[in-house]
Copies of this chain bind each other. A is one copy, B any other.
Amino acid sequence: MRFGVALFPSKQLQDWVNSYRKRYDPHYSLIAPHLTLVNAFEATEEEAETIASQLREAVKNHEPFMLKTSKISSFHPVNNVIYLKVDPQEAITALHKDLNDLLESPGMQYKFVPHITVGQKLSDDEHWDVYGALKMQGIDHEEEIDRVHLLYQLENGQWTVYETFRLGKEAEL
């Protein structure tokens, strides 16, 4: 089965992103707005507990951090994906590297561009229409991220959370 690691921003930011995903993201009903830290990888249900315990240890070396967004961007021409760009500060890139090293993740063919998808699988026309309308908006937002989630995918495509991991050494207290 397929697993992945992601973080969910605040409800406020998720609601804002969903107001666009509802129309522009076919994955809208499969998972809440998120930032992917480890791309989907294959493992068995039996392996989940081992993976979870490795992640539980690894996140202790990463303190909660501020997630900052400033603008809407696009992966065109690689993909017609419109996203909320997240500042690639040290805390998030270090977390991404650690988790991917740990899980020997194959999802490293692209440079890590931390983002929250707003629209995807758009036709070229749709892409330019939506991107044109959205990129004028400044999205100056900042919030603390203190946890990440290991998820797995059901046969219908929906993602369910297996376990949450709170960042930082103090998290167990």
Contact = CB atoms under 8 A, between A and B. Distances in A.
Contacts of A18: 154-156, 158
A32 B31 CA distance: 10
Interface residues of A, number: 26
B172 A149 contact: no
A18 to B, nearest CB: 5
A166 B164 contact: no
Interface string A147-169: 10100101110101111101000
Contacts of A89: none
B164 A163 contact: yes
A10 interface: yes
B160 A162 contact: no
Given A8-B160, A163-B147, A154 B32 contact: yes
Interface in A12-53: 12, 14-15, 18, 22, 29, 32, 45
Interface in A70-84: none
A155 B15 contact: yes
A97 B1 CA distance: 34
A111 interface: no
17 contacts: A8-B160, A8-B161, A11-B152, A11-B154, A12-B45, A14-B160, A15-B154, A18-B155, A29-B158, A32-B154, A32-B158, A32-B160, A147-B163, A161-B161, A161-B164, A164-B164, A172-B172
